Structure 1
Amino acid sequence: MMYFKDEVLTFIEEENVQFIKLLFFDVFGRQKNVSILPSRMSRTFEKGVTIDATAVTGFNNPDHSDLVLKPDPSTMTVLPWRSIDGCVIYMICDLYYPDGRRFDYDIRYILQKAVKKAQKVGLTIEMAAKFEFYLLKLDELGEKTNIPMDQAGYMDAAPLDRAENIRRDICLTLNEMGIEPHKSYHQYGKGQNEVDFHFNTALNAADEAAIFKWVVRSTAHLNGLWADFSPRPFKNQPGSGLHIQMRFFDTEDERIKEQFMAGILKYIRQMTLFLNPNKQSYDRFGKDQAPLFIDWSDQTRFTLLRIPALSPDIMEVRSPDCTCSVYLAFALLIEAGLKGIEDQLELIEPGACKRQDSMDILPTSLEEAKALAIESDFIANVLPDHIINTYIKKDQ
């Protein structure tokens, strides 16, 4: 349900809301929050809440040490696991300079601009995320171990699949929050799971994906487990990806779709740093069905850009992993596709890259991905220099 300011204020009064969490994200997509009491909500809608930008990764700018959080009322959601004594809600915030301008390094703003750019050329792009993650046991001190919670494999059933009830709790919690998962199941790796989402507008899909990891980690913690979203936590087990699906809501023009795909394939190497920002990310490529070649197919599930056999309108990019910022990942994929349309790029034949040279594979190291991003005019036109430099300087 989409709320307006007045509706949020009415909800707070009528539903015994006791606490309000205001969420935002740093440039790497890590969730941050500040909490307020209901009595401050009306003023917060009007004035916002000030934060210290110098203390947030990627926000540090000595000329603008203060930033203002302004909650987006349409994102208001009840937290099911925090509603025993009075109701707890959250809202995702947009970031502003004190003078009222949007904050340039707000990753949600970067996605909003990409969405508007697509709308200007008559395209409404819907997106969906498919998350893979491991559930690991904790030791007697409550610390993470490297022991998977089960020994099950692909789509195994209980009792071999011991994570079935955890995934059910995750999906039911999401459903209570108005976020509807599409499906969930055990993946190939021991202790590895997957939860997929339905399509939504790009911004709403990114908001849902950003909240998803919070729900999974909270549910795992309540069950005495650790949720591991890293790209390849075990060398002898499959890595975990974040597969991103896209489709056009308002056109069936196959030529437009092919040009959009061609743009993604052309710029995927240059944007990989932001889709795979962790050193471990590059241990995943080319192993256990993770993509390596810059290719597309409507026949195999394991290519970089996949067209599902039963859903030819869907484009699925399979290289990103869960350490990325979904807001930046969605924005870059949209911008690359729009550039393909603008330049009327021709889509390569499926399987073509396997017959060419090594330039048609994804970067094989974090350092290579950084070098490609630094040299990219495409990246420079989409992302602020400060965000690019923050990613370049990040060690892992």
Structure 2
Amino acid sequence: MSKYTREDIFNMVEEEDVAFIRLQFCDIFGTPKNIAITPSQLAMALDHELTFDGSAVEGFVRTNESEMYLYPDMDTFEIYPWRPQSGKVARMFCDIYTMDRKPFDGDPRYVLKKVLEDAASKNMYFKIVPELEFFLFGCDDDGNPVPSTKEKAGYFDVAPADMGENVRRDIILNLEDMNFNILSSHHEIAPQQHEIDFAADEAGHIADMIQTFKMAVKTIARKHGYYATFMPKPSEGVNGSGMHIGILAFDDKGNNIFTDASDNRGLSEEAYYFIGGLLEHMKEISLVTNPLVNSYKRLVPGYDAPVNMSWTASSANHTSLIRIPFTREKKTTIELRNPDATCNPYLAIALCIAAGLDGINKKIMPPKEIQMLDAEKEDIRTLPQTLGEAIESYKSNEFVKSVLGQNVYNKYLDAKLREWKEFRSCVTQWEMKEYLGKY
């Protein structure tokens, strides 16, 4: 059932003195895009008559097939609280359709919708709870980020040690004005690192919320003179930033599919199969969940980031890819710990759910649980250690291709091959420091 009607949208625009409406979407890398319209053009947009040039968006279409339609999702209408209160700015997320009025298969939102529709046909409905971490850096006179800091704060510290406390508070207040249910926030383990957690929601909606969250964090930080970055490893020698993805599954009666009180871990067969599917496909999925050269600087031993392709119900094992949090019954959650917030959330969530569903369909049992004390004794597969390794796992993988579709699959691969080639030809400061004086 829809949250808003067409009449509701017109009434809110008038009553709230909205001057601009942003029709938002993203490219295949998750980069936000939008077209801004005034209220005079709102009827045309809601009638699905507004077009844009898709060839101008990276990873979309060729010039000869460039005209595309934006279909606003009225239930995503929100007003940006940080914009002027006279002549306000609102936004709606949009689905993208081709000129022949068919869903565009290169639209990341559509990729996720297809996976969720497949799950619904099997009486499975997914909620996601993300945990996003980010750094707050100071800025120089030109507004560029300055990673160096005098802050020494760590886990759960407060002001004055936590120098970003007021920024974090302002971010939360703005998010709550946009109907986020904020659960908690705190300073993270590294200096200048922060985390804000919000409640689980329907998987498709949570991907929209992640996009909104990142925009809000960056925008509010700039108002305070800070630069917020979701770069996975912006500083050497400290923990990086991730985006853990907690996955909950329910049937149409609201029962948690991952729960079984008779199991010694409280997990159902479906939960074990879902874990098995994630572990089976995670190497090829990693290019999407961890899409940057820098992503793999975070996934190294010693920094509370996952390295091993293993799972655990123990909160002590921080090197495992998958963890089962303590709570059970309706809150039983499978937590995937390798993704970072530079990913496209629509594609990453789609692939993770599809991998789990494949595990359920094929009854893929995971390997034995790895406890912290056992990890060093076991021969365990590891996640890709570089973007190049992730590309090799992604290449010619039929599972990934079936979920993303040929269009997204090929264009994403082409872009990442270019990125890896450019990085391999780059001479880093580490190489200059290590080798120049020796050879």
TM-score for the superposition, normalised by structure 2: 0.87
Residue 393 of structure 2, aligned match among 361, 372, 390: 372
List per-residue Cα deviations over 1:1-54 (Å, max 9, x = no partner): 932222111211222221111111000001011110001111111133211111
What is the distance in 2 between the residues matched to 1:14 and 1:225?
33
Cross-structure match for 2:273: 259
Q: Which residue of 2 aligns with 1:279?
A: 293
1:294 to 283, 306, 309: 309
Tell me the equivalent position of 2:115: 114
Offset at residue 182 of structure 1 (A):
1.5
**CA offsets per residue over residues 290-333 of structure 1, 9 Å max, x none?**
00101111113512101112347111100001110010111001
TM superposition shift of 1:61: 2.2
Q: Which residue of 2 aligns with 1:270?
A: 284
2:95 alignment partner AA = D
The 8 Å contact of residues 44 and 50 in structure 2, kept in 1 or not, is answered as no
Task: Give the 3 Å change call, closer, same or farther, for CA 88–340 of structure 1 in structure 2.
Answer: same
Instruction: Give the 5 Å matches for 1:234-245.
Output: 234-245=235-246
After superposition, residues 1-396 of structure 1 pair within 5 angstroms as: 2-148=3-149, 150-250=151-251, 251=257, 252-253=259-260, 254-287=268-301, 288-299=303-314, 300=316, 302=318, 303-311=320-328, 313-351=332-370, 357=379, 360-394=381-415, 395=419
Write the deviation string for residues 94-137 of structure 1: whole angstroms up to 9, x where unpaired. Answer: 10001110011100000111111111111111101110110000
Equivalent residue of 1:132, what SS?
Answer: strand
Cα distance in 1 for residues equivalent to 2:79 and 2:344: 23
Contact 2:73 2:94 in 1 (8 A): yes
| Distance apart, 1:156 and its partner CA | 0.6
* In structure 2, distance between residues paired with 1:165 and 1:271: 37
For residues 390 and 160 of structure 1, the distance between their equivalents in structure 2, rounded to whole angstroms, comes to 45
How many Å separate the matches in 2 of 1:310 and 1:131?
20
Asked whether the 8 Å contact 1:20–1:37 carries over to 2, the reply is yes
How far 1:353 sits from its partner (Å)? 7.4
Residues 296-305 or 123-132, more deviating = 296-305
Cα distance change, pair 319–241 in 1 and its aligned pair in 2 (3 A):
same
- For residue 393 of structure 1, report the CA deviation from its aligned partner: 2.5
Deviation at 1:236, TM superposition (A): 1.2
Displacement of 1:154: 0.8
Task: Find the residue that maps to 2:20 and give its secondary structure.
Answer: strand
Q: Find the aligned partners of 1:344 and 1:353 in 2 and give their Cα distance.
A: 25
1:377 partner amino acid: E
**Secondary structure in 2 matching 1:147:** coil
Q: What secondary structure does 1:207 align onto?
A: helix
Separation in 2 of the partners of 1:164 and 1:290? 25
User: Helix, strand or coil: the match of 2:204?
Assistant: helix
> 3-state DSSP class of the match of 1:80?
coil
Per the alignment, in what secondary structure is the counterpart of residue 393 of structure 1?
Answer: helix
Q: Gaps (5+ residues) in structure 1? A: none
Cα deviation, 1:132-181, whole Å, max 9, x if unaligned, reads 11000001222221224732111111110111111111111000011122
Verify the 8 A CA contact 1:127 1:202 in the aligned structure 2: yes
C-alpha displacement at 1:86, in angstroms?
A: 2.7
Cα distance 1:264–1:128, how it changes in 2: closer, same or farther (>3 A)? same
Say if 1:294 and 1:304, in contact at 8 Å, map to a contact too.
yes
Q: 1:39 is aligned with what amino acid?
A: S
What secondary structure, in the 3-state scheme, does the structure 2 residue paired with 1:327 have? helix
Inter-CA distance 186–48: structure 2 relative to 1 (3 Å threshold): farther
Change (3 A) 1:224 1:28: same
When structure 1 is superposed on structure 2, of 83-92 and 171-180 the one drifting more is 83-92
Q: CA deviation at 1:369?
A: 0.6
Residues 17 and 86 of structure 2 are in contact (CA less than 8 Å); yes or no, is this contact kept in structure 1?
Answer: no
How many residue pairs end up in the alignment?
A: 395
CA distance in 1, matches of 2:171, 2:236: 27
Quote the Cα distance in structure 2 between the aligned partners of 1:163 and 1:328.
31
Q: Give me the CA root mean square deviation.
A: 1.7
CA distance in 2, matches of 1:354, 1:327: 35
SS in 1 for 2:43: helix
Work out whether residues 277 and 357 of structure 2, in 8 Å CA contact, stay in contact via their aligned partners in 1. yes
The percent of aligned pairs where both chains have the same amino acid is 35
Letter in 2 for 1:336: A
Deviation at 1:356, TM superposition (A): 5.1
Distance 1:261 1:28 in 2: 26
What TM-score does the superposition give when structure 1 sets the normalisation length? 0.96
